[in-house]
Amino acid sequence: MPLKTKLQSSYNCVLACAYNVLMHHVKVSFPFACLCLTPKFFKLEHLPHEPLLLSEHPEQAMVRLLSRIGAEAVYPDIGSPDHASAYADTYLAQHAVLPFFINLRYSALDPAPIDNDYWNMQLLLGRDASSGQFLAFDTFHGKDYPLDAERFRLMIDTPFNYRTREGFAPFLTIVVHDPEESRSELARMTMLASLAEAAADYPLESNLEAGHSYVTLLRKLYLHDDGRNLHNEIYKIIGFQRILIKQREQIGDFAEMVGYPNAQRFDELAKAWDAFSYGIAMAISRHERDSFDRLSDEWEALIRREHRQVSELEKWLKPSRG
């Protein structure tokens, strides 16, 4: 029977899916912030040969919390796409939700224009009683939808799901070794403590360096017009930038929940990140040296502004926690 209770939605599909699994496995309410916010929340990294700026991988955040509560993530090998529906039916007969990895090109609610199967997840909830189709939940949009067998196969029969040595692994399951111990640990977690952990020791110098390295590579790759159609490359680059923007919006939401009076400044910060991302797209499209030079200056100002705001939040949190 499909789940009727409210599910957590978020721009971060991995953490939203993990949270929903835990909520229904362990059956204890805990703040979503405790899964999202880690000591590396603000740390940025630039891949040496990829024009991408990244934050901490969501799997690392998930594994960190699971380790703390005595649980682990398991990606079962089910053999082939032919076995996916039967596996899901068997699993959902005993569990409320089942996360599955998809290629966003075949997403039901908002399909991507290109193949994108890197750590994109949605939830299976069971089967609709009248149609017999799966009912699925898109954590990004916060909506459920019917999923027919043909689309389900297109979603999961994608290279990412063959990433393990064992074979075909389209699902995430979470093994909770001692539910009572896990409940006790989760009950001790607070949003205030998680915010303080994320805001402590902002990595100013390493973030400045990561961004300047990023802009340098963008300049190297895109300053000269070689006649290529760059639409798909820009789409991918800005897609990763959107994650960073959403993170800034998210921490503003969490800060507002605990009563921080300047929480709206993180919304303003997110808008500044959005403007920087727009500048990236324009610089790549125009191939102008001045545009790339401005990106370097804008990055410096953006990160120093973020450092000030996070430091102010950290100072406010110290007496609040006490």
pTM of the model: 0.92
Q: Under a CB-based contact definition with an 8 Å cutoff, are residues 8 and 32 in contact?
A: yes
In a domain, 4, yes or no: no
3-class SS letters over 159-217: HHHHCCCCCCCCECEEEECCHHHHHHHHHCCCHHHHHHHHHCCCCHHHHHHHHHHHHHH
In a domain, 8, yes or no: no
Residues 69 and 55 in one domain: yes
pLDDT tens per residue across span 180-196: 999 999 999 999 999 99
Q: Please report which helix (H) or strand (E) contains residue 14, including its range.
A: helix 13-26
pLDDT tens per residue across span 283-305: 999 999 999 999 999 999 999 99
Residues 102 and 218 in one domain: no
Domain that holds residue 214: 191-321
pLDDT tens per residue across span 52-94: 999 999 999 999 999 999 999 999 999 999 999 999 999 999 9
Residues 259 and 304 in one domain: yes
List beta partners, residue 54: 45
The number of folded domains in the chain is 2
Can you list the positions of beta strands (E) in the chain?
45-46, 53-54, 71-74, 98-101, 121-127, 134-138, 143-147, 173-176
Give the closest residue to 260 by CA, choosing from 318, 301, 303. Answer: 318
Domain boundary residue, one of 137, 167, 187: 187
Residues 208 and 176 in one domain: no
At 74, the amino acid letter reads: V
pLDDT above 90: residue 201:
yes
Residues 151 and 79 in one domain: yes
pLDDT above 80: residue 2:
no
At 119, the amino acid letter reads: W
Mean pLDDT over 10-29 rounds to 92
Residues 233 and 182 in one domain: no
pLDDT of residue 242: 96
In a domain, 5, yes or no: no
